Amino acid sequence: MIVVSLALSCVLAGCDEPPPARDTDLYASCYDGRGLCIMPELIAAEQRTLLEADRCRSPLLCAPRTLVRGQGASSCVSLGEAEGRCVLAQLPLVASQGERLPRSLCAQDERCVPCFDPLSGENTGACNLPGDPGPKQAPRVFGRCCGDAGRCLPRAAVPADQRAQLGREACHEDELCVPQFVLDKSAPPSCESVAGSEGRCLPSCLPAIGQQSERLPRGGCATEQLCAPCFDPLSGEPTGSCALPGDPGPRRAASPFATCCGGGGRCLPLDQIPAEQRDDLAQHECGASQLCAPQLLIDGRAPKSCRSLSGVEGRCLSSCLPSVQQQVDRLPRATCGEAERCVPCYDPFTGVPTDACSLPGDAGPAEPAHTFARCCSGAGSCVPPELVAESQRDSLAAESCKSAQLCVPRQLLESAAPASCASLGGFEGRCLPECLPLIASQSERLPRASCATSQRCAPCYDPFSGEPTGACSLPGDPGPSAPRAGFKTCCEGAAHCVPEELVPDAQRTLLATQGCGGDQLCVPDQLTSGAAPVRCDSVGGAEGRCVSECVPQIAAQSNQLPRSSCGAAERCAPCYDPFSGEPTGSCELPGDPGPERPALLFPTCCEAHGRCVPPELVPEDKRSMLAAESCKEDALCLPSALIPPATGLPACTGPSGARGACVPGCLLSASQTLITTQSTCPSWARCVPCNVLGTPSGVCD
């Protein structure tokens, strides 16, 4: 603001009336009768520029009557309560200050001009006009602000349309801090602003500049100044920074930030993003040293309310945000926009605030936290199936959850990599919860290793097939660090060498090493697959199961057990021993529901000293010595002494001391009876010589 000197001299001092006119226009009225048209030479040279010429005929100038007559101006209270004088408002340099000068006690067409310039403290001349005794008060100068780059002006002295753009800074309550360049009407210096765009050096005491102090660069500007861009880097619209008085305007065109995330965000340089927000954003298709910021965050608008998971309170947030993108398949869209998802105010698993409802402008959640019920011994949550990835649903169970809900371990929900561990055979694995059905079904097989309670160590690769199990490819897991590894094969590739401690106690006695290491057993793949053996018809039509010939007991009876409907390397083993009726274990393998029919026993014969068995179960060299006796069809009566685990017929001494074996008498023909004696045999048996007429009888083998 500039307050000019108004010291006008009346060359007719002491005269009440002006001198006679030299023509008809001299001393003509102007300023609506408040002034007179006077010859320029009647006015001091330094004062002529203060008067208006356009209102009089050239070369006359319009001077206020009070000045021409030497009448002192009325006293008044001017800017900052300073002493002043009432001066005609129509004077050019008074009129140019518009609303800055108060009217105070002056007439309607006058303004109160201060005796001293409130900026410089210099005499304005308003209180030194002819007839005025001069100022009575000392100069009052506006206080400094904005680091001496501005002045504290009374609010009334600032144009109404500029007040909202100014702040108080260090000024009094009824004052505003006006930058010096505004008062001087000089253009601010050019500088390099956001992302290298053209800008102007503006003081940070301007509220609009101070509010962006963390985002605007200094760009070579002076202390207490920041470089404000000519154009808004988001919209490309002019900011007004390069359109201030005296500024020729921008030299370069607008270059707004590129859009990203399908137009839902803008690529902002890192220095334009608060440090605490950078981890919440992603680069997307933006350039180096840029992040994609959703428009909602840029605008500072409160997000729209919505109903999120299971109907809980939430907010519509852009799927450009990594935390939202990671859950885009799980979070509902609800009433949100196309590129938004409804994020709950509280994590429905933990009850912890998600910050979705605490963004700038948001009043906060209106409802309390609601969490899913716990399951898996507290290590999981009951989740509606639609919130679980379709590829994971089959691997989960309802456990203790309500119907139509799945028990999801928190480990999967948090996408945290499981802990590494040493699994079957010492191979690499991961600690997974036992409430996962696939883990629970193998809980007795899988070691706990270094895992926590209610967890088991699942191998990265199936140690039998070498195929990935998926245990080491869960979200957040970098994958296996060791190459594929597994148990070596045995039994011509139909079985694997398994450490003995991994074989159930009930199965160890049935297996052998068969080329494996000393601490390993050759386990048929049939036993490790977990699949129930195939049903078949065994000896005598008894119910049985197809069991691998890799099992020693099956291999030992391969000539006696039928193949039935079994595979090439399998035999149909009966569910019950047909001699004793005891379970054989063939129908009690993993995955088998057990026998459907009762035990089928071979009938007794020879007064219960034998069993009627199919001929194929009798060694071929013994068949000729046996009789059908009371057995049906083609069955042969096999002495109990020849039925496993018996070791054979009891030895005896025949006629003339010949060696023999005790054979039940009911199995001997009349001719055979003639060559036998009772000897040392039981009463129901006869001692048959090992050789008859030099030919082996077969009873001693």
Summarised one tens digit per residue, pLDDT across range 467-517 is 998 889 887 788 999 998 889 999 888 899 998 888 888 788 888 888 898
Category of 49 on φ-ψ map: left (φ > 0), alpha (ψ -120 to 50) or beta? alpha
CB 28 within 8 A of CB 56: yes
Is the model's pLDDT at 654 over the cut of 80?
no
Mean pLDDT of 67-77: 79
pLDDT > 90 fraction of the chain, expressed in percent and rounded: 23
Q: Which two tokens stand for residue 364?
A: 């906060």
Instruction: Please report the beta strands in 217-272, taking only residues with DSSP state E, as ranges in sequence order.
Output: 225-229, 259-260, 265-269
Longest dimension (CA), the chain: 192
Q: Is residue 240 part of a domain?
A: no
Q: Are residues 4 and 98 in the same domain?
A: yes
438 and 322 in a common domain: no
The lowest-confidence range among 66-70, 138-142, 453-457, 630-634 is 66-70
Task: Work out the average pLDDT over 261-268.
Answer: 87
d(CA 369, CA 127): 73
Task: Give the amino acid at 150.
Answer: G
Residues 380, 385, 386, 392, Cα dihedral to 10°: 80
* Pair 356, 390 in one domain: no
Phi, psi (deg, nearest 5) at residue 180: -60, -35
Q: Per-residue confidence at 12, pLDDT binned at 50, 70, 90?
A: very low
Q: What is the CA radius of gyration of the chain?
A: 55
pLDDT score, position 628: 65
The answer to the question of residue 33 being in a domain is yes
Residue 668 domain-assigned (yes or no): yes
How far, in Å, CA of 89 to CA of 111, rounded?
5
How do residues 41-57 score in pLDDT, each as one tens digit? 877 676 677 777 777 88
Asked, for residue 315, whether it belongs to a domain, the answer is yes
pLDDT tens, residue by residue, 94-134: 887 767 788 888 988 889 999 998 988 998 888 887 778 88
Of 317-331, 352-366, 657-671, where does mean pLDDT reach its minimum? 657-671
What is the reported pLDDT for 573? 93
Is 130 found in the same domain as 6?
yes
Domain match, 1 and 136 both: yes
How many other β-carbons are positioned within 10 Å of the β-carbon of residue 367?
10
Q: In what order do the strands lie in the sheet with 570-574?
A: 535-537, 543-548, 570-574
Taking Cα atoms as reference points, which of 200, 242, 250 lies closest to residue 222? Answer: 200
Q: Say what the pTM is.
A: 0.49
Q: Are residues 13 and 130 in the same domain?
A: yes
Q: Residue 366: inside a domain, yes or no?
A: yes
Percentage, residues of the chain above pLDDT 70: 94
| Domain end position, chosen among 354, 371, 388 | 371
Q: Do 655 and 569 lie in a common domain?
A: no
Q: Measuring CA to CA, how many Å separate 318 from each of 284, 295, 297, 309, 461?
A: 13, 9, 9, 16, 39
pLDDT of 309 reads 86
**Burial class of residue 578 in the structure, from the number of CB atoms within 10 Å of its CB (0-12 exposed, 13-18 middle, 19+ buried):** buried
Fill in the DSSP letter of residue 447.
Answer: -
Q: How many CA atoms lie within 13 A of 433 on its CB side?
A: 23
Does the residue 151 lie in any domain? no
The pair phi, psi for residue 579, each rounded to 5°, is -95, -45
pLDDT at residue 198, as a whole number: 94
pLDDT per residue as tens digits for the range 579-620: 889 998 889 887 788 999 999 999 988 888 888 888 888 777
pLDDT of residue 615: 83
Of residues 407, 198, 389, 387, the one with CA closest to residue 308? 387
Q: What is the pLDDT of residues 357-370, one digit of tens each?
A: 988 888 999 999 99
Which DSSP symbol is given to 337?
-
Task: Tell me the three state secondary structure of residue 651.
Answer: strand
Q: What total of structural domains would you count in the chain?
A: 5
Using DSSP, state whether 49 is helix, strand or coil. helix
Alpha-carbon distance 424 to 588, whole Å? 24
Q: What digits encode the pLDDT tens for the residues 232-254?
A: 998 899 998 998 878 899 999 99
Burial status of residue 24 (CB atoms within 10 A of its CB: 0-12, 13-18, 19 or more): exposed
Residue 642 to residue 619: CA distance in whole angstroms: 10
Domain end (from 316, 336, 371): 371
Mean pLDDT, the chain, integer: 84
Place of tokens 């060498």: 497
> In angstroms, what CA-CA distances link 55 with 39, 69, 346, 545?
13, 19, 75, 125
Give the domain-ending residue among 304, 337, 371: 371
pLDDT: which is higher, 363 or 15: 363
**Confidence check: pLDDT of 199 > 90:** yes
- In this structure, what token pair is assigned to residue 24? 């008809």
**In this structure, are 503 and 447 located in the same domain?**
no
Answer yes or no: is pLDDT of 558 > 80: yes
CA 319 to chain centre: 11
Domain that holds residue 588: 490-596
Arithmetic mean of pLDDT, 303-320: 91
The secondary structure of 117-136 as a DSSP string is -TTT--B-STT-STT-----
> Are 19 and 128 members of one domain?
yes
Q: Hey, how many other C-beta atoms are within 10 angstroms of the C-beta on 264?
A: 20
Helices vs strands, H then E, count in the chain: 16, 38
| 241 lies in some domain | no
Look at residue 205 and tell me if it is in a domain. Answer: no
Instruction: Say if residue 351 is in the same domain as residue 389.
Output: no
Bigger pLDDT: 184 vs 21: 184
Same domain, 312 and 387: no
Q: CB burial class (10 A; 0-12, 13-18, 19+) of residue 528?
A: buried
CA distances from 347 to 41, 63, 260, 361, 378 (A): 88, 80, 28, 21, 16
Shared domain check, 11 and 113: yes
* In the predicted structure, residue 686 carries a pLDDT above the cut 90: no
| Cα separations in angstroms, 375 against 112, 253, 372, 655 | 83, 61, 9, 82
